[in-house]
């Protein structure tokens, strides 16, 4: 099998070619960070336009890098949701055009399934396993039982961690994206100087909350400014360290509970926040304590990309899934259809 994957649900336009054996022949990602930089967030209208302008070129480049033509493909997989609807529609229409033109089967993929199945592409692990998806828009625990079987154990009831990192960076006038800036500051700081709250840790279950942490950081900043007439370098570093340590503490404790509730052989992470070394180390320790393997795919496959969409398409295809020209773009699409609609999914 050779699949073309297409992804355009947020602010990355991506195309990739992946084989049935899990070989990534090409993976092209065109980001839009600079286009949205002045607006403090992704502007859906700008994103949709950029996807429309770039999709064809990304697909061409993915084919070129893989040294393949459309006639070499077995099928086209595309993100059909959840995400910003203009972008998802642009991707779905491109995929339909290619599938119809080249006479190829079409497979619609849930973006979150793409993230959740990535450890099978990178490490070939078997089912079941636990996936912690932590990004700028999502935060949830999924028990992955099959290519199309996901059980949501819990997730954020408000902000996503990446979003919280970005907001903290904004509060402290650090560059965006906030995660890497906060991590760099935190490395030089003292995590024990300030004590930030860890919401919902006193409650059972795997749900998480991060907005209180963000508000506490804001109050602390304002108090320091009021007392000292400004923020010193060390204050900023200590605040970042305290924030990161609270974040790692929450994610680690909830992962411990998720593994206790669903004892599986492996804990995997995906999403941009999984790049954070402190968070990674904390999760690795939790997995080790539970006797589980810890899997963190390389960062380029943790953040949005089309290789994961091609792969999730292959997995669905093998289960017999095919979509027609009526494949719809869905702004919301919970992975676990049995669960209540996701709060704070960010999409
Ligand atoms: P989604 O994948 O849910 O559509 P997204 O595109 O915003 O959302 P990603 O690209 O997976 O998410 O991740 C981006 C987020 O990861 C940003 O919020 C960024 O601040 C955060 N991030 C990146 N590196 C780090 C880091 N080292 N520490 C903490 N957070 C980080
Ligand atoms: Fe994503």
128 lines ligand 1 (CB under 6 A): no
Distance in Å, CA 303 to ligand 2 centroid: 6
7 lines ligand 1 (CB under 6 A): no
The pLDDT assigned to 339 comes to 46
Tell me the ligand closest to 272's alpha carbon: 1
Distance in Å, CA 137 to ligand 1 centroid: 8
Note the pTM of the prediction, 2 decimals. 0.92
Distance in Å, CA 180 to ligand 1 centroid: 9
| Selected residue with higher pLDDT from 241 and 11 | 241
Average pLDDT for residues 75-99, to the nearest whole number?
97
CB atoms within 10 A of CB 176: 16
- CA 46 remoteness from chain centre: 21
Q: Mind listing the pLDDT tens digit for each residue in 230-253?
A: 999 999 999 999 999 999 999 999
Q: Mind listing the pLDDT tens digit for each residue in 176-189?
A: 889 999 999 999 99
114 lines ligand 1 (CB under 6 A): no
Q: In this structure, which residue's CA is closest to atom 20 in ligand 1?
A: 179
Tell me the ligand closest to 136's alpha carbon: 1
Q: Mind listing the pLDDT tens digit for each residue in 100-116?
A: 999 999 999 999 999 99
The pLDDT assigned to 337 comes to 66
| Extended strands (E) in the chain | 2-7, 12-19, 24-31, 75-81, 106-110, 129-134, 139-146, 149-155, 266-270, 293-295
Give dist(CA 337, CA 153) in Å, integer. Answer: 13
Residue 174 clears pLDDT 60, i.e. is over it? yes
Enter the tokens of residue 203. 């409650």
The interface predicted TM-score (ipTM) is 0.97
The pLDDT assigned to 343 comes to 39
47 lines ligand 1 (CB under 6 A): no
Neighbours of ion ligand 2 (CB under 5 A): 304
């Amino acid at each position: 099998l050779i699949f073309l994957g297409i992804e355009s649900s947020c602010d990355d336009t991506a195309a990739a070619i992946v084989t049935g054996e899990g070989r990534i022949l090409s993976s092209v990602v065109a980001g839009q960070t600079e286009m949205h930089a002045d607006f403090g967030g992704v502007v859906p209208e700008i994103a949709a336009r950029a996807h429309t302008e770039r999709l064809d070129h990304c697909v061409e480049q993915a084919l070129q890098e893989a040294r393949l033509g459309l006639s070499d493909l077995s099928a086209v997989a595309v993100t059909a949701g959840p995400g910003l609807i203009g972008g998802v529609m642009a991707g779905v229409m491109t995929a339909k055009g290619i599938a119809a033109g080249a006479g190829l089967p079409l497979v619609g993929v849930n973006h979150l399934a793409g993230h959740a199945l990535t450890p099978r592409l990178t490490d070939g692990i078997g089912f079941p396993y636990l996936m912690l998806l932590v990004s700028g828009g999502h935060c949830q625990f999924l028990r992955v039982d099959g290519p199309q079987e996901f059980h949501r154990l819990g997730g954020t009831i408000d902000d996503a961690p990446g979003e919280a990192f970005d907001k903290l960076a904004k509060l402290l006038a650090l560059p965006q994206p906030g995660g890497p800036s906060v991590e760099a500051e935190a490395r030089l700081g003292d995590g024990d100087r300030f004590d930030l709250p860890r919401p919902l840790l006193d409650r059972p279950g795997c749900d998480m909350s991060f907005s209180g942490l963000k508000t506490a950081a804001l109050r602390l900043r304002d108090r320091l400014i009021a007392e000292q007439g400004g923020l010193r370098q060390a204050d900023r570093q200590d605040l970042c360290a305290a924030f990161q340590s609270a974040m790692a503490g929450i994610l680690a404790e909830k992962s411990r509970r998720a593994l206790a509730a669903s004892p599986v052989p492996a804990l995997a992470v995906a999403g941009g926040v999984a790049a954070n070394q402190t968070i990674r180390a904390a999760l690795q320790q939790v997995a080790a304590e539970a006797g589980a393997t810890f899997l963190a795919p390389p960062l380029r496959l943790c953040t949005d990309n089309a290789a994961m969409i091609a792969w999730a398409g292959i997995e669905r295809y093998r289960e017999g899934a095919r979509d027609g020209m009526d494949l719809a773009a869905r702004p919301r699409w919970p992975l676990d259809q049995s669960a209540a609609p996701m709060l704070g999914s960010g999409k």
